[in-house]
Amino acid sequence: MSVNQQTHTGPPYGQPQPGYQGYQQPAYGGQPLPGVPHSQYGAYNGPMPGYQQPVPPQGYFPSLGFPSKGSPVSLNSDTSLAPNFIGSVRAPATSGTSLSSGHLGYSPFGQGDVQNGIPASTAPMQRPPASQPFLPGSAPVPVSQTSMFQQYGPPPASVQQLSNHMAGMTIGSTSTSAPPPAGLGYGPPTSVPPVSGSFSATGSGLYTPYTASQGPPPPSVSQGLPLAQPPFSGQPVSTQRLPTQVPGFAPPPSSTGIGPSSYPPTTGAPRPPTMPGPPLPVQTASGPPTSQPHHVSSPPPPPSTLSGPHPGPPMSGLRGPPPPTHPPQPGYQMQQNGSFEQVRGPQPNYGGAYPGTPNYGSQPGPPPPPKRLDPDSIPSPIQVIEDDRSNRGSEPFVTGVRGQVPPLVTTNFLVKDQGNASPRYIRCTSYNIPCTSDMAKQSQVPLAAVIKPLATLPPDETLPYLVDHGESGPVRCNRCKAYMCPFMQFIEGGRRFQCCFCSCVTEVPSHYFQHLDHTGKRVDFYDRPELSLGSYEFLATVDYCKNNKFPSPPAFIFMIDVSYNAVKSGLVRLICEELKSLLDYLPREGNVEESAIRVGFVTYNKVLHFYNVKSSLAQPQMMVVSDVADMFVPLLDGFLVNVNESRTVIISLLDQIPEMFADTRETETVFGPVIQAGLEALKAAECAGKLFIFHTSLPIAEAPGKLKNRDDKKLINTDKEKTLFQPQTSFYNNLAKDCVAQGCCVDLFLFPNQYLDVATLGIVTYQTGGSIYKYAYFQLETDQDRFLNDLRRDVQKEVGFDAVMRVRTSTGIRATDFFGAFYMSNTTDVEMAGLDCDKTITVEFKHDDKLSEDSGALLQCALLYTSCAGQRRLRIHNLSLNCCTQLADLYRNCETDTLINYLAKYAYRGVLNSPVKTVRDALINQCAQILACYRKNCASPSSAGQLILPECMKLLPVYLNCVLKSDVLQPGPEVTTDDRAYIRQLVTSMDVAETNIFFYPRLLPLTKADVDSDSLPAAIRNSEERLSKGDIYLLENGLNIFVWVGVNVQQGLIQNLFGVSSFSQISSALNTLPVLENPLSKKVRSIIDMLQVQRSRYMKLIIVKQEDKLEMLFKQFLVEDKSLTGGASYVDFLCHMHKEIRQLLS
C-alpha cells in the first residue's frame, strides 16, 4: 500500500486565526498535541513547481478539485482521498522535491490544479506524524515512517486501500474524493469509519495514533468503495474533473477506510480488527494494481528507508512504509474506472509486514505507530479560494441570467448589473431552490439571503440610479404593492402589467405608458433603470413620510462620559481633540459643499451636562440636569447647530471640557438617562439622528437603567449560561422601541476595565441598527489609533435613517425569519433607526406552496430610508433564482460561505434561549443531514466507508468546525462574558465576507512577499504545522492582525522589519510597525494598510514572538488545529462528521 501513498507536506497545519478585537481568545487549535513534534518542513506554500497539474475537466473536480461547482467531492474514507482534493490532478512528480520547496510564487496551488494540499504527485515530504494532532485511536501510523501510508494492524484491505488510494488518485477517470481523516478526534472517539482509505497515508500520518494499547481500528466496511467521487447523479463521470490519481492520498491501510470502528477508540483496549466487508466482487485487474499510484510501477521505498520523514518522495511509490503485509486479504485493485479489484495478497513490491504488524487475519499485535489523516488530502479552503480567483476573477460577473452562482466573496470581480442585484447587495445560500417544501425538508439546506442594502461599491461600479416619478411616486402592483422591476410582464400593448410576484394585473398609469416592441419589451426598456437593472432607487413622495411631511435632515449628538476613569486615561481629551477636525467630515449628499447634519454635545457622569453652542454666543453655556429619574432637555435653541455657523463656539467647548473635569473624583455613571436625553432632543427637533456614546463603566449610580454586576463564570456549560447573553432588565428593550419609533440610532464606544454588561448595554444599539466598538483596558499609546480610525469611519460612513425594509417574494415562498441589528413590531417590516453601509439583514425563506422550474422564484427587497441630506428614498434590489425538482441541482448551486453566515447567526441567536451544547449539537446534526441527503440521493453508489461531499460544499465541515470553536459557542477560560456578548452582536450583522475571514482567518507568509509587486503573498492554511521557525507570518480575522515571528528568523529580516538587531529585542508591545526605508518594511506596511482598508473596523496589530506568552492567543486562530478549549481539529471533525453521516444513512 505504501506505494501509493505519498507523503505530503502540507501547509503548516496550524495557522492562527485572528482574535477578536480587544480580547484574547482561547487558542483556537493551533496547539500541537503534546509530544507531537513540529513538522520539520516549512510551511507549504503551493505545489511544487515541478508538478504541472493537469486541469480537471470542467465540471468535475477531482476529489475535491475546486472550481467545478457541480462535482461532488468524495472523501473516501476507505478509499484514499484523492489528493486532488485540491484541485486538478497532478501528475505524480518524479522528483523528490519537498513540497515546501515548491512553493509557487503567488498562489499556493499549482496552476490549474485544484489540489488542496500538496500536489499529490510529489511525494510530499512526510512530516513526522506527530506533528499533527490526532486523536489517538485513529489509524496509527508507524512511527518510523512519518508520512507513509501505513497500514494499521488490522488488515488493511491494504491492497484495496492502496487501490482506493490510488483510485483516489483518480486512477480511473473517476474523481476521487478525499475521505475523512481517519482518526479525528472530535468527540469521544467513536467509530468513525476510518477515512483512512481515502486519505493517502502520505503525509504525516493521517491517522490518529492509537495508543500503544489500542489495536488498530478494524478495517471498515468501506472496503470496496470506489474512490472516485461520485459525480452528481446523472452526470457522466467523464465530465467531472477527475483528479489524476494523486499519490498523496493513499488510502489508509485498513481498506475499510474510516470504518466505524476506526474512529479513535477512547479506551486503550486494542480493537480487534473488524474484517472489512466482503470484498467487492472480484474484478479482473484491469486497472493498475492499486498499490501503485498513477499506475506507477516502482516499488515503494523499502521500509528501512522510511524511518524518517522522507524529503523527496518517490512519487511512484507512495511514501510511507510499505503496508504491513497481512495475510492476503481480498483488497481491491483499482480498476481503471475507479472501482477496486480485489487484490489477492500482498502487493508485489511490499516487503513483509512492518515489524510488529499483525498479519492479516491474525490478531493485531502491537499497533504500528498511529497514522493520521493527511491534512493535505482533505479539502483546503486556500485551494478553493485560489481556484475561484483564477477561474472567475478575470471576467465580469454579468447579472442578466437567472440563478447564477456568483464568484466567492474572496475573489475580486467586477459586477455588471443587467437585471439582478449585485452579489454585493444580496447573496443566497442556494441559487437553485427546491420546488417543494418536502424536498427542502429532505435536504435540510436552509434557504436564506444575506442582504446588505446600502453596501459600498468599488469605484469602477455604478451606484444605483435615482428615479424620480414626480408626485405620483413609484409604479407598484395594486395587490401586493411590489415595485416596478425588470420581471414585470407588460400586456395588452403596454396598457397593463402583470405582477411577477402575485400575478395580479394592474393598469399602467398614463404618464408611464410606453409601446412594446416585437418581443413584448417596452421600447424605453434601456432608458428606465427599474425595467433593466436589478438595483435602483426611487425618490419617495410625501406619502412615504412620517406624519405625511418630509423629514428634516438628521442630527448627530456626541455624549461623552466624564467620570474619573475616562478623564484619567486621557480618553476625554482625545475625543475632544479629534472632534474638532472630524466635524468637517460629516456625511454629505453628492457634491454638496457642507453637510446638512446638525450636531449637539452632552457630557455625563452621575448627572448630565447639556451645552448651548448657538453661533451668537461668545462662549458655550452649560446646563446641568441632576434629576436623572425624569429626563428632559433643558434647551431647544442652541443645542443642535450647524457646524460651520457655530464653529468657534464648538471649538471653545471642546477645549474647555477636558479642563472642566480634569480634577473630577466622580467614579459612578448613569447610562439609561443618557440615551433618553438624546432621544428627547431628537424628538424636540423633530428629526432622526444618531447618538455617539463614549462610555467606560457599569452604570451603578441611582437612575433608570441602573445595573448590577452579575458576571458569573460558573454558569458556563450549565442550563443558566443563556442568561449571560440576555439583558438583565427590560428597561433597555423598552427604550430601544422608543428610539426606533423616533429614528434615534445609538452607536456605542465602550472602554471597560472590568465587567460592563455588554449584553444589556448593547440592546439599544443592537435594536436601533447601531454599532458597538469595544476597547478593553484602553491605553492611549496602544489603542488610540484603532479608536480614532473607528470613530472617523463611523462618523463618515453612509447611513440611512428611520429605515423600514420589507422583502417580497413570488408565490410559493415567503420570508419567515430575520437576523440582524433591527427591531420588528410585526412579522414583515424590519425597522431600523439607522442602517449603515456595513450592516446586513439575513432573511430565511420557507415554502408555502409549490414552485415551478419554468418561472423560478423572485425576491424583492425594498428599503425606505432618509438620506443624510433629509431626502426620503426607496432602494430596491431584485433577484431571480432557479427552482429544481432534482436534489442534485440544489447541491450544485449552493454557496457555502453564505450558508455558514446564516448558520452562525442562527446559532448565535439560539444561545439566548438554549444551552450552548444543544445549539452546537443542532448545528452538527443539520450539517450531517445536509451531507447525508446528498450522499443518499445525489452521489453514485459507493461503500459507506467513503465520505462524499458535494463539490460546492466541500468546505462545509472545516468552516462549521470554526463556528463551533468560536468564543460564543466554546469559550476559553480567558474569554470574558462581555467578549462573548460583544462577538455575538457583532457577528449577527456581519456580511458574508466578514464572517468568512472571521471564522477562517487569512494567514500570509510575509517573508514570501514579492517586494516588487502589489500582490499579496499566497495564503496558507490555518495550522501550526504550516508555520516555519525561520519565517514571519501575518494573520487577520477582521478584528485583529497578528504578526508572528519565528525564533529562527534571519537577523537581516528582523532588522529590516522591526529596526532591532535580534529576535530578543523585538517588543511585543508594538502596535504599529516602525517606518523604515527598505523594501521589506514598505511592502509589509503596505500589506497591512491594504488589509485595514478592506475591513469595516480598524484591526488591532499584535506582535507575537514564537514561544512567547502571546502565542497562546495567536494559536486560537489556527483553526484547523485542535483548540485548547477542546475544539476538534479539522481532521478530527471531518471524521466525526463522517460518523454522523453514516449513522444517519444506516
pLDDT of residue 300: 40
Residue 90 has pLDDT above 60, yes or no: no
pLDDT digits (tens, 9 = 90+) for 642-658: 999 999 999 999 999 99
pLDDT digits (tens, 9 = 90+) for 823-863: 999 999 999 999 999 999 999 999 999 999 999 999 999 99
User: What is the chain's mean pLDDT, rounded?
Assistant: 77
pLDDT of residue 380: 96
pLDDT of residue 218: 39
Residue 115 has pLDDT above 70, yes or no: no
User: Cα–Cα distance between 509 and 472 in angstroms, integer?
Assistant: 9
Half-sphere exposure of 1032 (CA within 13 A, CB side): 25
* CB neighbour list of residue 722: distance below 8 Å, 6 or more residues apart: 911, 912, 913, 914, 915, 916
Exposure of 923 by Cβ count < 10 A (0-12 exposed, 13-18 middle, 19+ buried)? buried
Strands 73-75 and 947-949, how do they pair?
A: antiparallel
pLDDT of residue 264: 40
Residues 327-339 have a mean pLDDT of 35
* 1000: helix, strand or coil: coil
Which candidate, 412, 417, 68, places its Cα nearest to that of 240?
A: 68
Residues 1105-1113 have a mean pLDDT of 93
Phi, psi (degrees; rounded to nearest 5) at 928:
-65, -40
pLDDT digits (tens, 9 = 90+) for 419-445: 999 999 999 999 999 999 999 999 999
pLDDT of residue 371: 60
pLDDT of residue 294: 37
Residues 465-493 have a mean pLDDT of 96
Can you give the pTM of this predicted structure? 0.72
Residue 228 pairs with which residues in a beta bridge? 176
Q: What letter does residue 395 receive in the DSSP assignment?
A: S
pLDDT of residue 375: 82
pLDDT of residue 376: 86
pLDDT digits (tens, 9 = 90+) for 672-688: 999 999 999 999 999 99
pLDDT class of 170 with cuts at 50, 70, 90: very low
pLDDT of residue 773: 98
pLDDT digits (tens, 9 = 90+) for 526-573: 999 999 999 999 999 999 999 999 999 999 999 999 999 999 999 999
The number of angstroms, rounded, from the C-alpha of 625 to the middle of its chain's C-alpha atoms is 47
Which candidate, 289, 352, 290, places its Cα nearest to that of 324?
A: 352
The CA-atom distances, in angstroms, between 635 and each of 232, 611, 614, 622, 1063 are 70, 9, 11, 10, 60
pLDDT digits (tens, 9 = 90+) for 1005-1024: 999 999 998 899 999 999 99
pLDDT of residue 1038: 96
Say if residues 571 and 751 touch (Cβ distance below 8 Å). Answer: yes
Residue 878 pairs with which residues in a beta bridge? 860
Say if residues 607 and 622 touch (Cβ distance below 8 Å). Answer: no
